[in-house]
Each structure stands twice: as C-alpha cells, then as structure tokens.
Chains A and B, each alone.
Chain A
C-alpha cells in the first residue's frame, strides 16, 4: 500500500491537499484570516495602497478638470497608456475565470483551493480595466452615450464598431464574473455567519449569505447554477479578449492588421493572468499559512500553464514576423523588422522578448517549478513582459505608420504614470480588503474535495499503471 502511494506520488506529483484535516479544522484554518486581529503588516500595506488609490483619483480628477491633454497622447499616437493598461488589466483578469470556470468544467481537482483567489483577482482587475476606456473617451462624463438607451438626440450607437463590442463585452464580463464569484461565495458566507463570534459580524454575514442553510434542496439548484455559470463564463473569456483584439485587428495600421491577433491575445491574457495569480498567491499562502491547502502541486501546475501559454505567445510573435515577411507588405515588414527592433522603442521590444519568451523556458526544469522564489520572480517578470508587449503593439505601431511625415514620438506624462500606478494601488487595496473579510479559499469546496480524496483512497488499489486522466 505504501509502495502504491509512493508510486502514485511519483506519477501525480505532490497532493492537492496535504493531510486530512477535519471539517472543523479546515473551517478554522481557512476563516482564520477573517477572525484574526488586524495585523500591522496588512495595515501598512493597506495604507500604501490607499495612498496610491488617492493618487489615482487625484490624477483622474485632474484629467477631468483639464481634459486628456494632461496625458502624453498625441496624433498619431492617440491610443497610448489608456489602452495599454486597459488591455493589460483585462488580460490579468482572464486567468481568474479560466482557473475557475474552465478547470471546473474539466473537473480539475487542483482548481479548488485557488479559484476564489483567482476570481477575486478577476473582479478587481476588470474594475481597473474599466476605468481606462472611460477616461480615454475624452469626455468621460458622457460615457453613458455608449449604451443603447432611447436618447432624445434620436441616435443609436454604431454596432459595426469594435469599440461598441468592447463596451458590451467588458460590461458583460464584469457582471458575469461578479455573479459567479458571489454564487460561489454563498455557502462560505453562511459558514462565516454561523462561526461568527460577534453580533455585528453575524448580522453582516447573515445579510450577505441571504439565508443559506446548506439545504439539500438549495444545493441541488446551486450546483447546477454554478456549473452553468462556469459553462457560460468559459466562452465569454475567449470572446472578451478576442473582441479586445478586434479593436486592433480590424484597423489598417501596420502591426495591428493581423489575423493572428484573437488567439494570440487570448493566450497572452491567460499568460499574464496566471502570472498575476502566482504573484499574489505566493505571499498570501505564506502569510496566512495556507501551504497545506495551496500546495506545491498548485504552484507546479500553474508554472506549467505559464510555460504552455508562454510558448503560445512566442508562437504569436513568430507568426506576426513571418507574415510580415511572407506577405510582402513593406509597411508591415518595416514595423516588425525595423521600427520594433531598431527604432526608438527598441528596448521595450527586446525586454518583451526576454520576459515573455526566455523567462518561462526555465519551467522546463522541475527544480525551477518547485522553487517558490523562482516562480515569484518569473511571474513578476511575465507581468512586466506582457505590459511591454501591449506597449509595443500600441505605441510602436502608431508612432511610425505609412507616412514619415506623420511620425511622432510618444512620452507618457506624470498624469499617465499616476493613473497607471494608482490602479495598481487600487487593485491592491481591494484585494487586501477581500483577504480580510472573505475567506480566500473556498471552504465548502475544499471539504467536498476532502470527501472525494478520501473516497478515492478507500477505493481498491489498482495496478500502478498510467495515472488516471482526471485530477491531474
């Protein structure tokens, strides 16, 4: 039996749940961050993030007051930081839905401990992403003109525009992510209500748990509802980033006018999103002592996804360059083989190649996948790399297009940087609040996972052959 277990470990890697804690123990462990006293470190981080949030709203206020002239955008580079950061943030959001929804549909056991974390990240990332296109409108106070409401102006929006598709895609994505997250949260909110020690907490969690009683009649509906939301969220993720890529791909600008964009953007989004999940989850599991729930297996699997999507992104780069050469379009060839590689923004391009193509290759080695430090550094580099990719696509393509007479340089201003750094702070602020008030690992799902694992352990041992396809 012991030999069998060792063989299984060799085949399947480390377990998805270390030990077999009792349900009560699990509840206490997972809810501990919620009930614990406020820590100084958490408060310090929250203060920093709150300050950055203040910077963000100051910069937004300034933009409102004086207009987008406060940004570095110009003609020809009309899309700059506003769109770079929009695409970057929304890409980060995608991994959350992917981990949650797609892995749920594929019945991957290693999803269970990290899905809520990832979903919360999605939600907060999409909030940041949503700010940028609205500010980029120039007259953000007319943002509601984008929606098809019966206006006294007697006009309707133009549905042939990819920007209109974007409005629908992003707002739908945010709504569905929020619903999915909340529905998944219900059982845990009820557990928080029942485990709460103060009247205030009991009332607050009581209201948000809507009266969940763990009833079999409710579980029956809940399970199918959760599964259906996952099923809807899966094509939704793919559609959102595809539509974001249409913003570029349906234009004529050399460097944008590419059919590889939709899959290449989706792969890039998942790539950067998984990197962000790792960036956040590695310190969090250490601080909240969740190593037995978020195990080495989770980190290893995520590093494998990082490697796979990194290779897809590398293929996208290769394809872009090949088509630029093969098509014989001299404008496109100029962008890819001259402007990006040797133009004024060349360092950004080479940094992008280093971070997105070279860095993930380290995960071919098992020791790199097992090292938390290597993973964390690599995940940050990938986030940087994906940001430079968006910069490269947007700014480098726009600043030198068809006519040299219309070439111009783009330099981000202090307001641009403030808004960008401010959104990172705002994201952190929301995320810290989430860690404090909501269990970051789904307790009810981990309990269910424990049952399944026990059930498997009691099943008659089979001959150690190829590992079963599920649960890997």
Chain B
C-alpha cells in the first residue's frame, strides 16, 4: 500500500478535504495532529471507541475475581480464625475487591488502547516522509492509504483541495 500525505493550514480545510475524499470512495483516511482535533471523528466517519467496554469488562472481572479469590482462600481453602471473626466476612473483603477491580480495569484500558492502536509499532510508512515529522509539533496532516496505482490521482485531488504540500510515500523495502 502507498500513503498520500497532505498538510493543511487549519482543521476546517483538513476536514473538508477528508469529506471530499470519502465522497470519492477512499475510506482509509486519517488525520494527524499534535493535539486531539474536535470534529475529526465525524469528518473521518469514525465509530465510537471500544475502550470503555473493555474497561467495564476488566473492572467487573477484576472485582468479582478479587472477591472470589478472598472467599475461596480465607473462607474455604485455608480457614484462618483471627479474633473469632467468621471465616468469610464480606465487609473485610471490600477493600481488596475494589483494588482488584481498579487494577484490572486499568490494565485492560491500557492494553486495550495498545491493541486498538496497534502499538507498539515503531515503524510506519508515513515516517518515510521527513516533512511529516511536523505532525507531532505544529502541523495538521491528512493521510490516505491507497493502492500504489491510485496515488497520483489522489495527490492531484488533494492539491486541488488547497493542501500546503502533498507527497506520496511507499513502505520502504526491507
């Protein structure tokens, strides 16, 4: 696959170009910016993030797992009589249950984030373009993943949409 990268002067111009390309049938678009852009999801037609769901599953699994662990360890498998409290005493199990829930939810959030973003992936074809390095500093870029034979047409299209600069890059030969 080839990537066409175009720099725009502001987010409105970028979103307009993104909508235009989507109308032409290019679905694999992305915006690159040093800070989150408001309105990017809608312009690029992105769906809602799955991270909250992953967090919920992690939190519920962590909390219930933590509680069951305590019930089994202190109430069933190794009954420890301290001060004649009941072997399984729910109030005493609440703190660890809560901590387990938080811990697993957080781990799931971060691992889920990595999985959804495909991290770690320290090499990406877009890094071939030296000018693209401004995307994390102060510039707004649009990237379109296209078939190599289409790239010339997309470059022309983006130039017509008022991009400051447009380049096509291909994955470096390994």
Q: What residues of chain B lie closer than 8 Å to A220, measured between beta carbons?
A: 40-41, 46, 49
Q: By the criterion CB–CB under 8 Å, are B136 and A214 in contact?
A: yes
Q: By the criterion CB–CB under 8 Å, are A183 and B110 in contact?
A: yes
Q: What residues of chain A lie closer than 8 Å to B59, measured between beta carbons?
A: 232
- Nearest CB in chain B to that of A211: its residue: B121
Q: What residues of chain B lie closer than 8 Å to A243, measured between beta carbons?
A: 95
* CB 8 Å contact bits of A235-279 with B (1 = contact, 0 = none): 110010001001000000000000000000000000000000000
Q: By the criterion CB–CB under 8 Å, are B30 and A215 in contact?
A: yes
Expressed in whole angstroms, the Cα–Cα distance for A445 and B34 within the complex equals 9
Size bracket, chain A contacts: 35 or more
Is A140 among interface residues, defined by CB-CB distance under 8 A? no
Given the contacts A176-B102, A191-B136, A224-B49, A219 and B37 also touching, CB distance less than 8 Å: yes
Expressed in whole angstroms, the Cα–Cα distance for A161 and B98 within the complex equals 15
Expressed in whole angstroms, the Cα–Cα distance for A212 and B36 within the complex equals 13
Q: By the criterion CB–CB under 8 Å, are B95 and A239 in contact?
A: yes
Q: By the criterion CB–CB under 8 Å, are A211 and B122 in contact?
A: yes
Q: By the criterion CB–CB under 8 Å, are B96 and A444 in contact?
A: no
Q: What residues of chain A lie closer than 8 Å to B136, measured between beta carbons?
A: 187, 190-191, 193-195, 212-214
A19-27, A39-47, A310-318, A379-387 - the one binding chain B: A19-27
Is A459 among interface residues, defined by CB-CB distance under 8 A? no
| Nearest CB of chain A from residue B42's CB, rounded to whole Å | 10
For window 154-172 of chain A, which residues contact chain B by CB distance below 8 Å? 154-161, 164-165, 168-169, 172
| Nearest CB of chain B from residue A357's CB, rounded to whole Å | 31
Q: By the criterion CB–CB under 8 Å, are A172 and B95 in contact?
A: no
- Nearest CB in chain B to that of A446: its residue: B35
Interface centre among A154, A232, A246 (most CB of B within 10 A): A232
Given the contacts A148-B73, A160-B82, A221-B116, A24 and B106 also touching, CB distance less than 8 Å: no
Is A414 among interface residues, defined by CB-CB distance under 8 A? no
Q: By the criterion CB–CB under 8 Å, are A216 and B78 in contact?
A: no
Q: By the criterion CB–CB under 8 Å, are A159 and B96 in contact?
A: yes
Is B105 among interface residues, defined by CB-CB distance under 8 A? yes
* CB 8 Å contact bits of B77-105 with A (1 = contact, 0 = none): 11010100100010011011011101101
Q: By the criterion CB–CB under 8 Å, are A235 and B102 in contact?
A: yes
Q: What residues of chain A lie closer than 8 Å to B96, measured between beta carbons?
A: 159, 164-165, 168
* CB 8 Å contact bits of A183-220 with B (1 = contact, 0 = none): 10001001101110000000000110111111111111
Given the contacts A211-B122, A220-B46, A448 and B113 also touching, CB distance less than 8 Å: no
Expressed in whole angstroms, the Cα–Cα distance for A328 and B105 within the complex equals 46
Number of interface residues of B (CB under 8 A): 63
Contact of A210 (CB < 8 Å), options: B32, B35, B55, B120: B120
Expressed in whole angstroms, the Cα–Cα distance for A174 and B7 within the complex equals 40
Given the contacts A156-B74, A218-B117, A219-B37, A168 and B99 also touching, CB distance less than 8 Å: yes
Q: By the criterion CB–CB under 8 Å, are A187 and B119 in contact?
A: no
Is A223 among interface residues, defined by CB-CB distance under 8 A? yes
Contact of A159 (CB < 8 Å), options: B93, B106, B109: B93
Is B16 among interface residues, defined by CB-CB distance under 8 A? no
Q: By the criterion CB–CB under 8 Å, are B134 and A194 in contact?
A: yes
Q: By the criterion CB–CB under 8 Å, are A211 and B120 in contact?
A: yes
Expressed in whole angstroms, the Cα–Cα distance for A168 and B97 within the complex equals 9
Expressed in whole angstroms, the Cα–Cα distance for A206 and B119 within the complex equals 12
- Nearest CB in chain B to that of A173: its residue: B99
Q: By the criterion CB–CB under 8 Å, are A221 and B49 in contact?
A: yes
Q: What residues of chain B lie closer than 8 Å to A27, measured between beta carbons?
A: 34, 137-138
Q: By the criterion CB–CB under 8 Å, are B30 and A217 in contact?
A: yes
Q: By the criterion CB–CB under 8 Å, are A191 and B34 in contact?
A: yes
Given the contacts A23-B137, A156-B78, A159-B70, A217 and B35 also touching, CB distance less than 8 Å: no
Q: What are 20 pairs between A and B in contact, CB < 8 Å?
A: A164-B96, A168-B95, A172-B102, A176-B106, A179-B106, A187-B136, A211-B120, A211-B123, A213-B32, A214-B32, A214-B34, A215-B117, A216-B36, A221-B116, A228-B55, A232-B105, A232-B109, A239-B98, A239-B99, A246-B95
